[in-house]
């Protein structure tokens, strides 16, 4: 599964979701296909799912809202272990990703 | 259906095929002609060179051969003459020795007279008036009437001579037998007693009488060889006066009185013992045949011949072929001057070129044209002078060098050359013929090939052209069948598809027009609908954005409100982006408490504006309800917003922070951008708000995440609040304005009024942005402690 544009690319490999590039999509409607793709993965019954954001240079506030919703979705699943891999290389990640941990304390946030 | 073009159909000039044939054929023809021409030219040149080379070689060889032949023939003739000279010399030597020793001479003469009486015993002939010994002796001795006494016996001095001359009987037979082939050898006495003794024995005097009547009435020497004796006498006086330093004297050919044959005589004068006078002569005759034999044997090629000639052109020896070829006429010289000479001069030759020859001058090889059977035939003639000799020919003795001449028809001597040339020429002609045949064959093959190939290559194109013509005449049923798997084949296929389409389109044109018209009408209607929709949508969007912008701006605090504040000096700036973000700021006053809020709704458009409006309304309501606990304030606000978000399905959240001021303390709560505090001493404090809350509208209860923080806020201190529209504004280079630049600008303007601070920072920000698009709402608040 893959959704891409000239500036970004999001795709899944097994239970890992990769975000790459710059996301400046205009609002929730624009992010809906990505949302449904990843929600689909979350409901496939895996023990754990990883969001790999190490290649994600920029994410606008609507994108952050998407990540928050996906985190809340994962939190509802109970059994599912969600891992979020981020990087301190991009300041927005250090600033915004801890909020996901607040929304879902069992989330394994790995900022490297 | 394919229009078949028959091969028999003539190739039209100007057609592609004709041009193709012309180009290819022309190229090949040119190539063939050039290469063929070159080959022919080379063969011809080779043949010419070979002929020349062979010709020169053979000519040189032939000339060398003729020269050698002439040399060897001349050597043979010289050898023959030398032999005769030697024999004569030997005989003369014996006789001279006898003369020089008179005593022995007499003794030997007496002895021979005793042993061979027939040699000296004479019989007088009444009729001829001469005496001669009888046959049976080795030699004949004739004594002429004027040497006899009246009793017909010889004079005493003559008698002595008859006896002494008999010594010839001892020498001559062996010389005749062993030396060169000679007719006869003889002794002739001096002018005083010219007896004539000759070996072998013949009827000598009788022959003389028959051939030379009257010879007996004159002195022998004067009659037969006038001038000869006197020449010798002058030699006796001065040996240096001899024309050639040799005693041997040769006569010109003449008719021999004894044998009647044409002969040449070789005399050797005998001298008196004191060498002051002539004492007779020893002699030998050879027939011309003998001399001629040598030259007659000359046989060069088929009709080559040789001849011996005197310097005056008189031919001494020649064979029949030569005589006929030269057209010589023999004439006996009957002028009465001595012996009958033979006149067979080249000057009388019927060949003008021969008649002109001057033998005493010419040497070496000449090319002459001789007539044979009415045709001019080129001859190679070589003249070779023999060693000079003393010659008598009526008159004083003179020097004479005979010439040996060889004449060979050039055609015969060059026969091998001609054969070689003929062979070369034949070979050349054969090669040329083969070459021409090869060229012709190649041309034929190429022509056939070009015609065939051109047919193959161009038949497709012709078919296409024909079919195209038929299409022109509106016959759309035409199709081509081109088998070749090349571009022409592809063109054929494409043509067929086109023809099919054309025919289909033509046949279905009306229907098609109707269908198309209907389609166009449908499309037009659709377009109109879409257009209307678009217009509506545009209007809606435009309206929506305008509404959103109005909502956003309409709830902002009025300038007047801010100016009325006592404790704090507050200036604010907000600039919505083109698409209208959801920036929020507010200053809520309730009694002596102030609540300053700043926030940012995710996304753009009307919904963001509506959400922001809700936030403002809820915040105002909570403030009015006397809610002073910052944590509870945010928790309640979130709770209300969350429920409204669920209801309105506005799938958005926002960051939101508040500053609570009660005149003494400044309390910060909620998660938003960093808060910048600039102290009067120039210190800058950046306060991170991440741990003070969580975005609003993500979950129902956020109480556990809210924290508060007290900010020291003294007189003159300046607090800057901003949304990410400020820090994430981009310039042309794609750089972000960033918090650091914001701090630098704030520090630069820290002593200004709050209004000035805001306007200066905004001016710097706008300068930074330049012509770049403003992505997000820009909101900036400056709060100064009065």
Give me the pLDDT at residue B738, please.
Answer: 92
Which residue from B320, B201, B359, B330 is spatially nearest to B262, judged by alpha carbons? B330
Please answer yes or no on whether B602 and A72 come within 8 Å at the CB atom. no
Q: Which helix (H) or strand (E) holds A10?
A: strand A8-13
B603, B605, B697: which to substitute to probe chain A, counting the most A Cβ within 10 Å? B603
* In contact, B723 and B776? CB cutoff 8 Å: yes
- Cβ distance B695 to A99 less than 8 Å, yes or no, reads yes
Q: How distant is the alpha carbon of residue B735 from its chain centre?
A: 72
B218 to each of A23, B143, B144, B193, how far by Cα in Å? 166, 13, 9, 12
Residues A102, B653: C-beta atoms closer than 8 Å: no
Cα-to-chain-centroid distance, residue B216? 94
CA distance A81 to chain B (A): 20
Rounded CA-CA distance B157/B147 in Å is 9
For A65-95, the pLDDT digits (tens) are: 899 999 999 999 888 999 999 999 998 899 8
Q: Which residues of B278-309 are buried (b: 16+ CB within 10 A; e: fewer)?
A: bbbbbbbbbbbebbbbbbbebebbebbbbbbb
Question: How many other C-beta atoms are found inside a 10 Å radius of the C-beta of residue B762?
Answer: 16
CB-CB neighbors (< 8 A) of A57 in chain B:
none
pLDDT in tens, A13-39: 999 999 999 988 877 788 999 999 999
Q: Which pLDDT value is given to residue B711?
A: 95
For residues B612 and B551, is the Cβ–Cβ distance under 8 A? Answer: yes
Q: What is the pLDDT of residues B191-221, one digit of tens each?
A: 999 999 998 898 888 888 888 888 888 888 9
Contacts of B690 in chain A (CB under 8 A): 95, 98-99
- pLDDT tens, position by position, B37-80: 887 788 888 888 887 887 788 778 877 888 888 888 888 888 88
Ordered DSSP codes for B580-596: --EEEEEEEEETTEEEE
Q: Which of B384, B345, B336 is nearest to B363 (CA)?
A: B384
Mean pLDDT within B551-558:
86
Contact of B658 with B669, CB cutoff 8 Å: yes
pLDDT > 90? residue B569: yes
Q: How far apart are CA B438 and CA B382, in angstroms?
A: 49
Instruction: Judge whether residue B27 has pLDDT over 90.
Output: no
Per-residue pLDDT at B179: 65
A-B Cβ pairs (cutoff 8 Å, strict): 48
Report the helix count and the strand count for chain A, using DSSP H and E.
3, 6
Q: And the tokens for B149?
A: 């006494």
Give the full edge-to-edge strand order of the sheet including B305-309.
B315-318, B305-309, B403-409, B375-385, B364-372
pLDDT reported for residue B687: 95
B690/A95 touch (CB, cutoff 8 Å), yes or no: yes
pLDDT at B340 over 60: no
Distance CA B645, CA B140 (A): 186
Q: Say whether A62 and B603 touch across the interface (CB within 8 A).
A: yes
Residues of B in contact with A102 (CB under 8 A): 694, 705
Burial class (CB in 10 A: 0-12, 13-18, 19+), B246: middle
Judge: A64–B605 Cβ closer than 8 Å, yes or no.
Answer: no
Query: To 10 degrees, the CA torsion angle through B709, B710, B716, B717?
Result: -30
Q: How far apart are CA B448 and CA B296, in angstroms?
A: 69
Number of H helices, E strands in chain B: 20, 28
- Closest Cα of chain B to A54: distance in Å? 21
Nearest chain A residue to B582, by CA: A61
Measured distance CA(A17)–CA(A2) in Å, rounded: 10
On chain A, the residues whose CB falls within 8 A of the CB of B694 are 99, 102-103
Tens-place pLDDT, residues B71-122:
888 888 888 888 888 888 888 998 898 889 888 888 888 888 888 888 888 8
Q: Do B705 and A65 touch (CB under 8 A)?
A: no
Residue spans of alpha helices (H) in B414-508: 415-472, 487-507
Contact (Cβ atoms closer than 8 angstroms) between residue A35 and residue A66: yes
Is A27's CB within 8 Å of B695's CB? no
- Read off the pLDDT of each residue in B721-743 and give the average, rounded to a whole number: 92
B450 or B153: which leads in pLDDT: B153
d(CA B690, CA A95): 7
A-side interface with B, Cβ within 8 Å?
Answer: 24, 26-28, 60-62, 64-65, 68-69, 72, 95, 98-99, 102-103
What is the crossing angle of helices B754-769 and B738-748, to 10°? 140
- How many whole angstroms separate alpha carbon B296 and alpha carbon A72? 148
Q: How far is CA B603 from the centre of its chain?
A: 84
Place of tokens 């010439």: B403
Phi and psi at residue B214, to the nearest 5°: 95, 0
Question: Which of B425, B499, B422, B486 has the alpha carbon at shortest distance from B460?
Answer: B486
Q: Are B556 and B574 in contact (CB under 8 A)?
A: yes
Task: Determine the Cα–Cα distance for residues B543 and B510; give it in Å rounded to an integer.
Answer: 48
- DSSP code for B635: H
Asked whether residue B632 carries a pLDDT value surpassing 50, the answer given is yes
Shortest distance, CA B466 to any CA of chain A (angstroms): 53
Query: Residue for token digits 């065939």?
Result: B452
CB B280 within 8 A of CB B297: no
| Two tokens, residue B244 | 């050639």
Q: Do B602 and A102 touch (CB under 8 A)?
A: no
Task: Tell me the DSSP string of B335-363.
Answer: S-SSS-EEE-BGGG-SSHHHHT--TTT--
Closest CA to B348 of B375, B303, B318, B392: B318
Query: How far apart are the C-alpha atoms of B436 and B430, rounded to whole Å?
Result: 10
Among residues B287, B276, B270, the alpha carbon closest in space to that of B165 is found at B270
String of DSSP letters for B361-377:
T--EEEEEEEEETTEEE
For residues B357-385, average pLDDT? 79
Would the CB atoms of A99 and B699 count as touching at under 8 Å?
no
pLDDT of res. B180: 66
Q: Which helix (H) or strand (E) holds B154?
A: none
Q: Does B695 contact A68 at a Cβ distance shorter than 8 Å? A: yes
Quote the CA–CA distance of B320 and B297 in Å, as a whole number.
Answer: 11
């Amino acid at each position: 599964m893959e959704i891409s544009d000239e500036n970004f690319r999001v795709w899944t490999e097994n239970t890992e979701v990769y975000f790459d590039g710059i996301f400046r999509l205009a609002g929730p409607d624009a992010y809906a296909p990505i949302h449904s793709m990843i929600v689909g993965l979350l409901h496939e019954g895996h023990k754990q799912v990883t969001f790999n954001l190490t290649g994600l240079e920029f994410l606008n506030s609507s994108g952050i809202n998407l990540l928050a919703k996906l985190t809340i979705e994962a939190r509802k699943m109970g059994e599912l272990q969600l891992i979020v891999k981020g990087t301190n290389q991009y300041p927005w990640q250090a600033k915004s990703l801890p909020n996901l941990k607040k929304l879902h304390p069992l989330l394994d946030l790995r900022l490297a | 259906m394919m229009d078949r073009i028959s091969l028999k159909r003539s190739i039209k000039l100007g057609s592609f095929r004709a041009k193709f044939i012309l180009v290819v054929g022309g190229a090949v023809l040119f190539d063939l002609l050039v290469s063929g021409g070159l080959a022919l030219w080379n063969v011809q040149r080779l043949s010419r060179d070979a002929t020349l080379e062979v010709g020169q070689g053979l000519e040189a060889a032939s000339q060398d051969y003729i020269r050698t032949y002439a040399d060897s023939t001349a050597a043979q003739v010289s050898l023959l003459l030398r032999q005769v000279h030697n024999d004569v010399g030997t005989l003369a030597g014996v006789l001279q020795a006898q003369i020089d020793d008179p005593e022995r001479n007499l003794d030997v003469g007496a002895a021979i007279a005793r042993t061979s009486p027939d040699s000296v015993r004479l019989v007088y002939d009444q009729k001829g008036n001469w005496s001669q010994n009888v046959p049976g002796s080795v030699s004949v001795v004739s004594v002429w009437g004027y040497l006899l006494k009246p009793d017909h016996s010889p004079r005493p001095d003559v008698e002595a001579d008859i006896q002494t001359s008999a010594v010839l009987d001892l020498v001559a037979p062996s010389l005749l037998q062993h030396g060169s082939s000679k007719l006869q050898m003889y002794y002739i006495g001096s002018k005083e007693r010219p007896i004539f003794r000759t070996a072998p024995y013949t009827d000598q005097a009788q022959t003389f009488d028959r051939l030379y009547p009257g010879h007996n009435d004159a002195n022998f020497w004067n009659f037969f060889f006038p001038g000869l004796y006197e020449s010798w006498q002058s030699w006796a006086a001065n040996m240096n006066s001899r024309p050639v330093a040799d005693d041997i004297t040769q006569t010109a050919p003449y008719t021999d009185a004894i044998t009647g044959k044409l002969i040449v005589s070789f005399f050797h004068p005998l001298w008196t013992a004191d060498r002051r006078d002539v004492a007779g002569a020893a002699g030998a005759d050879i027939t011309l045949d003998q001399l001629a034999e040598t030259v007659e044997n000359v046989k060069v090629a088929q009709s080559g011949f040789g001849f011996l000639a005197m310097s005056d052109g008189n031919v001494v020896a020649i064979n029949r072929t030569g005589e006929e070829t030269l057209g010589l006429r023999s004439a006996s010289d009957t002028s009465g001057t001595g012996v009958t000479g033979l006149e067979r001069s080249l000057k009388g030759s019927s060949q003008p070129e021969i008649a002109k020859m001057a033998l005493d001058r010419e040497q070496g090889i000449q090319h002459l044209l001789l007539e044979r059977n009415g045709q001019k035939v080129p001859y190679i003639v070589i003249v070779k002078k023999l060693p000079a000799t003393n010659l008598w020919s009526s008159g004083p003795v003179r020097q004479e060098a005979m010439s040996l001449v060889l004449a060979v028809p050039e055609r015969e001597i060059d026969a091998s050359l001609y054969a070689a040339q003929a062979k070369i020429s034949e070979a050349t002609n054969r090669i040329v013929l083969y070459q021409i045949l090869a060229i012709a064959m190649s041309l034929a093959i190429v022509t056939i090939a070009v015609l065939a190939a051109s047919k193959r290559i161009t038949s497709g194109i012709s078919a296409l052209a024909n079919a195209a013509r038929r299409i022109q005449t509106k016959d759309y049923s035409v199709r081509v069948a081109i088998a070749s798997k090349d571009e022409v084949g592809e063109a054929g296929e494409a043509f067929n598809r086109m023809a099919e389409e054309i025919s289909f389109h033509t046949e279905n044109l009306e229907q098609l027009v109707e269908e198309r018209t209907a389609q166009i009408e449908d499309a037009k209607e659709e377009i109109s609908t879409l257009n209307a929709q678009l217009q509506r949508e545009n209007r809606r969007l435009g309206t929506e954005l305008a509404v959103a912008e109005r909502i956003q701006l309409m709830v902002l605090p009025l300038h007047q409100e801010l100016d009325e504040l006592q404790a704090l000096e507050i200036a604010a700036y907000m600039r919505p982006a083109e698409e209208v973000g959801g920036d929020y700021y507010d200053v809520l006053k309730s009694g002596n408490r102030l609540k300053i809020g700043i926030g940012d709704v995710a996304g753009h458009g009307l919904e963001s504006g509506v959400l922001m409006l809700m936030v403002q309304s809820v915040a105002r309501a909570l403030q009015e309800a006397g809610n002073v606990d910052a944590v509870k304030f945010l928790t309640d606000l979130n709770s209300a917003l969350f429920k409204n978000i669920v209801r309105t399905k506005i799938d958005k959240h926002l960051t939101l922070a508040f500053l609570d001021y009660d005149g003494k303390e400044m309390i910060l709560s909620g998660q938003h951008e960093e808060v910048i505090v600039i102290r009067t001493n120039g210190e800058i404090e950046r306060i991170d708000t991440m741990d003070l809350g969580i975005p609003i509208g993500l979950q129902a209860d956020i109480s556990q995440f809210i924290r508060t923080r007290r900010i020291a806020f003294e007189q003159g201190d300046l607090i800057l609040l901003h949304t990410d529209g400020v820090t994430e504004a981009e310039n042309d280079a794609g750089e972000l304005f960033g918090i650091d630049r914001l701090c630098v600008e704030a520090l630069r303007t820290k002593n200004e009024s709050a209004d000035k601070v805001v306007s200066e920072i905004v001016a710097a920000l706008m300068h930074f942005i330049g012509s770049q698009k403003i992505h997000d709402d820009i909101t900036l608040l400056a709060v100064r402690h009065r």
